[in-house]
Every structure is written in structure tokens, then in C-alpha cells.
Structure 1
Amino acid sequence: MNAKITTFLNSGLLEKYLLGETTSVETEKVESFISKYPEVQNAYNTLQHNLEVVAKMNAVEAPQGILNNILDELDEAPVVELNVKRSYKKWYKFSIAASVAALLFAGTSYIFYNQNQKLSKENQVVVDEIFDLRSDIAKNNAMLDNVMRQLLRLNNPETEKYIINGNERAKDLKTVAYINPKEKTSMIDVVSLPELPEEQCYQIWAELQGKMVSLGILDKADRKLKNIPYMEDALALNITIEPKGGNSVASTENSVAEINLQ
């Protein structure tokens, strides 16, 4: 497509011509382009088709009962006799015309009333959607804020990173712990956890001066960065296999991963 045709199509003259808003000079120019260039002809046909589609979408169909009601009213009036007997007074003819006009006005009013009701419902839908959208935006902003806070913690020079790999009992186990002793925060990223029977679970512990303190249960559904309790002066982190729901005392014989923090 050459630059001349592109410039013409971008000028908006074709749309104005289709809507009957061009001047005589513009009309002559548009019709000349349509006849000379197949690209313009195709664009014109496409615009015409789209206009027809839009017109059909926005067309308003009259209520089904309106026409029948008007015809019934006309049937009740002595229209035939008016054409035969010309002795009826003129005011009677005017009254018939006024009745028809009133019926047409009532039908039109009914159509507009339905349109207004439909628009009111559509407006309410739009308001509800805007409210939901604002709610979603607020939730997304909160999530984004949480992610940014986590990233700031990870990028903090004071944050120490510990990669915890599984032993022979759980070779595919891998988690990453992020501990910041200055801000006293701890996070863990569950990278992979081998499958366990339904009656068992993984539990992470902090070793503190000869005792094990639970930091929570690890689940493969938690494959994301999550906060865990910070333990001052923890010597090590340990992951064990425990009964489903966790245990109050660590089963050190079922240890599957361990890393020293000192």
C-alpha cells in the first residue's frame, strides 16, 4: 500500500463520506479514490459492513403489543362509515386523528420508558463493575506492596541466605531460608518437597541450646516466599517428617534436612 493511499485512509474522509458528512469537494475526492484503488474500495466495504452491524445492534424493536392495540382501536372506530357518509362533523375526524396520535405517543413513550429502564440497569451494572474493579485494584496494590516489602527484605545486605537441601531420605527436598538478624525477620521459600503419605507432613524447627522449637509446617502448596517466626540465637534449622498436623516434639530420627546457622 503506497503512502498516498495510507494518508487518505488515515484522513477520516472515508468515514465522513459513509456518514454523509463530506462536502462536495470531499465527496468527489472519496469517490475518485474508491473507483481507482481496490484497497480503498475494500476499506469502504468493510466500514459499510461494520456500520450495518452497529446499526443492527443499536436498533430498538417496538413492543409486540403496540401495533395490535392501535389496530384494535382503529377497528372500533367507524372509519368505513366516515368515507361513505360525509355528514359527520369535522370535529369527529379530528378526534379520530387525535386518538391515533395519542396511541402513537403512548407507544413511543412506552418504548422510551423501556429504554430508560434498560439504561438504568446497565448503569447499575457498570457501577457494580467499577466497584469490583476498585476492590480488585486495592487487593492487587496490597499484594504488590507485600511483594515489594519481601523484595526489599531479600535485597537487604543484612539478610543472610541459607539453602537447605534434603538428605538421602528426601533427595529432592530444597528450601531457601532468608534470615535478617538486624530486623529480626525470617522467611522461607519452599522450592520442592517430595511426596509424603497423607498421614505425614514436613515440619521445620529451630535448634536453640539443645531444644527444638517448631517454626511451622511445610507444604508443597506453600511454594512461595512465606514468613516464619524469627528465633534469636538459633544454632540450626532442621526439617523433619512428622504426623499429619505437626508435632509438639521434633522427631529427630526422622530428620530429612539440616543446616547450621552459626
Structure 2
Amino acid sequence: METKLHNFLNSDLLSKYILGETSHEESKEVEHFISNYPEAEKAYDELQDNLEILAKIDAVDAPNVLGDVLEALNDEPKVIQLQPKRSTPWYSIAASAAAVLFAVTSFMLYQKNQNLNAENNVVVDEIYDLRSDIEKNNSKLDELSKELMKLNNPDAKKYVFNGNDRAKDLKTVAYINPVDKTSMIDVITLPQLPKEQHYQIWAELQDKMVNLGILDESDRKLKQIPYMEDALALSIKIGTDGDDTNENNTEVAEISLKEEK
């Protein structure tokens, strides 16, 4: 035991204890020796006295240092109770670091989630647009298929309009099916007209002419026109805006339907 006491007194544990630099285990060891060994208690008191003297020297001006030191030596020893420094526990630091890491990670995950949601919304919109386009294309294909079926129907008759000298480049095709009573016309080429004029298609009946509609080259697709049961001929004429009569129209193409009746 004397050896342990000797080793203790030769160590710096007392100084560290007074300065508050010992760990919890080291503090318990120092307090054990002070409580159980007079030599350790005496050494502790002497260190406290010396620390008090040094503290007083640092607290006065230089000209009075010597007098204050002598006065301090004559006074009864006073023990300066130093509170050990409380260092921040390692688990508190770890908890703080974990909290910061958790917050940063949560923010990053939130940002990533927001970006993914935005990308998902874009994908959903694109899929919706794609489905809409597919539906429109399917609808167009259905219409085209139906039109092709009408054109390929053996009961459908094909009539080609060729323009006269007034419209040499005019070419239009009519498809008439007397069985299902449908008429369609396909505009291929129409010579350009002044703004106030347009092309009209007419059906000639036994006692009158019937206007079946306006032809426009910009509408280059099969166009449904009214089916006329007793039509003798079809003709294309140049009409004037605001004039729906047949009197002043100029005929540029005609086909006869008499042979097909």
C-alpha cells in the first residue's frame, strides 16, 4: 500500500484534480487517497495553499507583489475550492452529431422525393398525352378504314372530274354508292381563285339544280356530300361569295350519272 501511495504522490493526479482536469474515475481515486491517507491530504492542502498564493499574486499590481505575498503567508491558510471542469460527455456530442446528420439526411431525402414526384408528374402527363394521341390516331385510323371500306366497296362507283379550259388543272374524284346511298368527293387539285370566288359542287336533277357544298383545296381529304337519289349529273362551278343561286355560276367540270342509273 505504501508503494501505491508513493506512486500516487509522485503522479500529477492531485494537480489535475485541483484544476478540474481529471476524469470521473481519476477523481474517485484522488478522493479515496485524500480521505484515507494523511500524507495525501497534506499534499492536497499544500497544493491548495500554493494555488491561493499564485492567485493573489496575479490579482495585484506589480509594486505591491512582495508585501501581498508576505501578508498572504502570515494569514491562516485558506482552501480554494475549485470546481472540477465538467467536460461535455461524449454521448452528448454523439447525439448532437447524429441529430445534425439526421436533419441533413432528412432534407436530402425530402428534396429527392420532391424531385421524384415532379418527374413522376411529368411522366404521367406524357403518358396521358401519349394515350390521348393514340386515341386520336386510332379514331383517325377507324375513320380512314371506314372510308377505305366505302371506296373498296364493289357497289361504289368512281367518277373523275377533269376541268375545262376555265380550270385546266382541276381534278377531283367522286365516289357514289347507290346501294348504301352515300356520296364522297376527294379534292385532288383546284386552281386558285380570287378571294371573292369559290368552287361549288352541284347535282342536276330532272327539274332543278341542288347545291351540295363548297370545295376547298385546303381540305385535302375525302369529304362526305349529300347523296341525291335521282341525280342525272354532278358539276363543279365557280360561285361568288354571297350568291347561292346557279344563274351566274361558271361551270368548270361535269360528269354524267345517266349511264349508271
Quote how far apart the aligned CAs of 1:244 are: 2.9
Unmatched 5+ residue regions in structure 2?
A: 1-19, 23-83
Aligned to 2:185: 188
Aligned to 2:155: 158
Aligned to 2:77: none
Aligned to 1:171: 168
Deviation digits for residues 25-76 of structure 1, max 9, x if unmatched?
Answer: xxxxxxxxxxxxxxxxxxxxxxxxxxxxxxxxxxxxxxxxxxxxxxxxxxxx
Quote how far apart the aligned CAs of 1:210 are: 2.7
TM-score by length of 2: 0.64
Candidates 225, 228, 248, aligned match of 2:244: 248
Q: Equivalents in 2 of 1:131, 1:253: separation in Å?
A: 50
Q: Indicate if the aligned counterparts of 1:187 and 1:225 stay in contact, CA closer than 8 A.
A: yes
Bigger-Rg structure (1/2): 2
Aligned to 1:26: none
Q: Indicate if the aligned counterparts of 1:241 and 1:251 stay in contact, CA closer than 8 A.
A: no
Quote how far apart the aligned CAs of 1:92 are: 3.0
| Identity across matched positions, percent | 62
Q: Equivalents in 2 of 1:89, 1:196: separation in Å?
A: 101
SS in structure 2 opposite 1:95? helix
Quote how far apart the aligned CAs of 1:85 are: 5.8
Candidates 241, 253, 260, aligned match of 1:257: 253
Over the aligned positions, Cα root-mean-square deviation in angstroms equals: 1.9
Task: Look up the equivalent residue of 2:187 and give its one-letter code.
Answer: V
Aligned to 2:52: none
Deviation digits for residues 54-108 of structure 1, max 9, x if unmatched?
Answer: xxxxxxxxxxxxxxxxxxxxxxxxxxxxxx9666546533212321221111001
Candidates 199, 203, 218, aligned match of 1:202: 199
SS in structure 1 opposite 2:218? helix
TM-score by length of 1: 0.64
Instruction: Answer yes or no: is 1:149 the counterpart of 2:130.
Output: no
Quote how far apart the aligned CAs of 1:181 are: 0.4
Q: Equivalents in 1 of 2:143, 2:222: separation in Å?
A: 11
Q: Indicate if the aligned counterparts of 1:236 and 1:259 stay in contact, CA closer than 8 A.
A: yes
Q: Equivalents in 2 of 1:85, 1:166: separation in Å?
A: 113
**Residues 93, 85 of structure 1: CA spacing in aligned structure 2 closer, same or farther, 3 A cutoff?**
farther
